[in-house]
Structure 1
Amino acid sequence: MLSPTGRPMRFVTYAPPPPLGRFVGRLWYYAAPELPDLLERVLPSGAMSLLINLAEDELRWYDAAAPARCHRLSGIAVCGAHAEHFAIDTAEQRAIVGAELTPGGALPFFGPATEELSGTHVSLDALWGREAALVRERVLEARTPDDKLRALEAALAARLVRPRGSSDRAGDPAVDFALAAFADPSRAYTVADVTGQLGMTSKRFIRTFTEQVGLTPKRYCRVRRFQQAIAAIERGERVSWAGVAAACGYYDQAHFIHDFRAFAGLTPTEYVARRRERNHVPLDG
């Protein structure tokens, strides 16, 4: 398979079954050994991820406002829920494995730190101690891409079991209800709609949701709508910005373009022209 730049690549993805599948949307392996060295903007998805660099024991990310500022982490790290874009360098993507968590699915793995991880990246050893390095070693030792994904799956599944052997660590049912409501394509639920149906105060709901998801309900919904627009673009259809705005629930085309620029740092037209793959845009220079 060739990457969007025409270079050889391999991409393998796997959706784990329940109970892990409730918390992990997909595991993935990506290898593109001939990628050129460049900085690349990553657009916000609102999801949290666990990343393992297989090529070197380091992961790097760069501030959106100051791309020259490099943050260096160990080769296994957590990317918190983001509502802003950030930058990475493509050398990290020459061989990498990741786990994309479901919205609200981080609680079993990171506990109360979920909210603190919002908008940043953290070496996993800060959360899991020595176990983080052991997980990376097991994934490195696995021979094939599928084996590597199974090794990561086993490590994550082990985190679902409480010390006393009880079942997975579920979050607050109110958050599960809210996430399902926000994903309902038949109606645009507001925070007021959800709190009214739950019988919770707005303050309590926002606090509970943010602790479990890593973003406030309002920011989560904005990022989700932004990603719906990205999905419409990536379907490869002839894009009408007015049509995308209407389909994704924006007030009008101007509102859509303003919100898109706020999250991407680019207009929709610039994104279409410059993207390398979904949510990834090479930076100039």
Structure 2
Amino acid sequence: MPLLAFVRMKEMLMATERELALSRTMAALLAGHPGAEMPMDADVYAWRLIRWEADVPLTDDQREALLEGIDVTLAPAGVAAALFAADGDVMTIMLALNRFPAKVHRDTVLWLCAHSLMDHASVNLEQDGTMFIGEEFADAADWVNHLAPMREITDWWRRVSPIEGAKAHAHRTSLQTSIKRRQYSTMGGYISRVLRTETALAPVCFGFVPLVIEAIWSQHGELSLQTLTRGLSLTEMTRHPREALLAWLNALQPVLRACPPSVNAAPVERVIESIKADCSLPYSQANLSKSLGLTPAYFCRLFHEKTGQHFSTFLTRTRMEKAQYLLSDGQNLSLAEVSAACGYPNKSYFCQVFKKYTGMTPGEFESTYKDV
């Protein structure tokens, strides 16, 4: 083995060992062991907390699968450790940001990683949730003080994006028009013209990455984040931002040309009406998307675009509204009957969801109406 290759391999293994030690220490801090000491050679530019809240209660298998997916989805940002809260529906993640020295680069990378984690949960586990992101901080041992000031990812990105609101809206609209007309080659020309007038080139180039992805999703929601970022080199963008961004746009063109015309929302409207008519049926994102000939990710995005809600949120809300009606209309149905009528064969799980949704058990809720 050549000496240079051996040295690089040794450095890579040492980095992996340091990152493993760092991850273990972070996990210990999250678990409430304040005495945990950081590795002496842990090079971290900043620390950050993010939080993922499930829309409905999780199973043990779902929690385990989400924890296992952390390393893969958040790896581009740095080293991560995660822990579920006692109620099992909220996952707190600590990130040691050791990949990109500049904060503006890290913010874009975090946007990509957060969406990757949300896609992982939605597609692989059929579980939607809301992502919250905190501010960067300097001392990992001080992480508890940074739990409260977190913002939902869309609000957070609007505040930290290097492209301010009015400009971002104009750019997104222009990109959406090009994509809608299937004039994909014009996207690079448009962005190239914008960049000629920018003095802070690197931040704006990084800021365009989410704008381009959002514009594509507005017309081709079936494309996964992994597919869209396949030709994107974030490391190369730190060195040659304009060239790397335009190279990515060129790489996207054959992917976009292979897409069929945008699907209209009519199939989703039929799903909505079906759920409203009878929410006792065993609906699932996977089965519905398959029956419509859509990918789970595309179905999820179409549904959200039509309703403003995630599929699981809409289904749970519809079922809980029916449960409240059945418990309050004096029919004296058993708990098992109400549970089954609302699409929950397991009455214990039904009680868990009902308590989270209303703040009361089904029995407590029913009693409030009997006492009236």
Q: TM-score, normalised by structure 1?
A: 0.33
Larger relative contact order, structure 1 or 2 (CA cutoff 8 Å, min sep 6): 1
Q: In proportion to residue count, which structure has more strand? A: 1
Q: In proportion to residue count, which structure has more helix? A: 2
Which structure is larger by alpha-carbon Rg, 1 or 2?
2
